[in-house]
Amino acid sequence: MVLSSIFGITKARDKPINHYGSAYSFLFGRSTSGKSVDERTAMQTTAVYSCVRILAEAIASLPLHIYKYSDTGKEMVYDHPLYSILHNEPNNEMTSFVFRETLMSHLLIWGNAYAQVIRDGGGRVIGLYPLLPNKVEVERGGNGQLFYIYSKDSDENPNFKKNGEFYLKQEDVLHIPGLGFDGLVGYSPIAMAKNAVGMTLACEEYGASFFANGANPGGVLEHPGVLKDPKKVRDSWNSVYRGTNNAHKVAVLEEGMKYQQIGIPPEEAQFLETRKFQINEVARLYRIPPHLVGDLEKSSFSNIEQQSLEFVKYTLDPWVIRWEQSLQKALLLPQEKQEYFIKFNVDGLLRGDYQSRMNGYAIGIQNGFLSPNDVRKLENLNPIPEAEGGNLYLINGNMTKLKEAGAFAEDTISQKSIDVEENNAAKQNRRRQQ
């Protein structure tokens, strides 16, 4: 009752939640292929695991910094308390890489990522601890404010000493929602595409069963008479000829028995093509280029770099913006939001090959918008001393303003006219003197 009065809990709003079972056909549960799909079974498929790992590791490996607005643009801030938390250790149990990798995997599987925010007396963040999304519910109190209910039944978070439900205020939770219909709670990509993931699981199970049965589809044992114990004959046959270790063994049939294969060969059922398509289907779900999940069929030396750049721009960048805005909203104090901002650095992923970078740097230096030290900073090299010209901005001397392009020609014509007039005047003076 005390918690109810504090948070103003009324009737829970209608909201999307991750639910196990068949009550909600669009959430986790049995798919049309007959396979049950949830976050653990989905991660057992190589395509889902690979896509989640690629995006989670990409976000976790990007440099994450705190910046301050300045008269010249922006400058990195190292002495802000959030810098060490986001860049080094969000808590005393995890590195920044592990923390971001964990939250990103939650976001890709459940559609939401949550972290408990630990603050000091002044409201500044001193620690971040991940919260399992399947144990978090988002509610709205009678005062209109959001709050979070966390159901603890294991020891994943050291800040909750006992098991049970814990109510957290909005400012005490870092929430990064994925794509959703209400802007508050994201939907799980796996749940929304459970039929595609279920078919991938079914294909893998079919392939495993195919090889478990000696790489041969099922068949029928025909007997000319009446069998007293068909089960004994079937079990005897399976014990000798079933399994990959018994494949291609010579079958010995007695009493006029015949074996007739009735299954469809996998090449006729396009088993391999189906498996390949399902891999691309999962890659499409996460907008991952096929070559990153091991499908190089349509990749070449001429287009693979472009595909990698498109991955950064069209796949990774939206996730980066989602992270940056959520971090700024939840972690910066109100008075700090006008002065500071949080940003990932993706410049390293957008760089081309060595020759392309050098050509670009040369153009930048020749046209005066890059100095040698600007280039060395981008390449992670030590700067050239200022006395040696490291900070000079140079430009080609042959270039001039467009409006002054004909000025030199006009001056030359005018000067020639003056010279001709002077020569004519000099000749006339000499004639008069003679």
Q: Both 427 and 298 in a single domain?
A: no
Q: Both 427 and 278 in a single domain?
A: no
Q: Hey, what amino acid is at 215?
A: A
Indicate whether 23 belongs to any domain.
Answer: yes
Indicate whether 368 belongs to any domain.
Answer: no
Q: Both 406 and 345 in a single domain?
A: no
Indicate whether 227 belongs to any domain.
Answer: no
Indicate whether 35 belongs to any domain.
Answer: yes
Q: Both 335 and 423 in a single domain?
A: no
pLDDT at position 181 is 83
Residues of the chain with pLDDT under 50: 1-2, 4-6, 9-26, 215, 244, 268
Computed from CA positions of residues 92, 93, 98, 104, in that sequence, does the dihedral angle turn out positive or negative? negative
pLDDT at position 34 is 62
Q: Return d(Cα 334, Cα 171) in angstroms, integer.
A: 11
Q: How many domains are there within the chain?
A: 2
Q: Both 322 and 422 in a single domain?
A: no
Q: Both 301 and 418 in a single domain?
A: no
Helix segments in 249-406, DSSP class H: 271-285, 304-310, 317-331, 347-350, 354-366, 372-378
pLDDT at position 124 is 92
Indicate whether 10 belongs to any domain.
Answer: yes
pLDDT at position 344 is 93
pLDDT in tens, 307-357: 788 888 899 999 999 999 999 999 999 999 999 999 998 877 776 667 778
- Please say which residue of 316, 332, 349 terminates a domain: 349
pLDDT at position 122 is 87
| 324-333 exposure pattern, b = at least 16 Cβ within 10 A, e = fewer | eebbbebbbe
Q: Both 134 and 213 in a single domain?
A: yes
- Please say which residue of 349, 371, 391 terminates a domain: 349
428 lies in which domain range?
Answer: 402-433
pLDDT at position 24 is 33
Indicate whether 374 belongs to any domain.
Answer: no
The bridge status of strand 73-77 relative to strand 164-169 is unpaired
pLDDT at position 106 is 95
- Please say which residue of 305, 325, 349 terminates a domain: 349
Q: Both 270 and 413 in a single domain?
A: no
pLDDT at position 224 is 63
Q: Both 335 and 415 in a single domain?
A: no
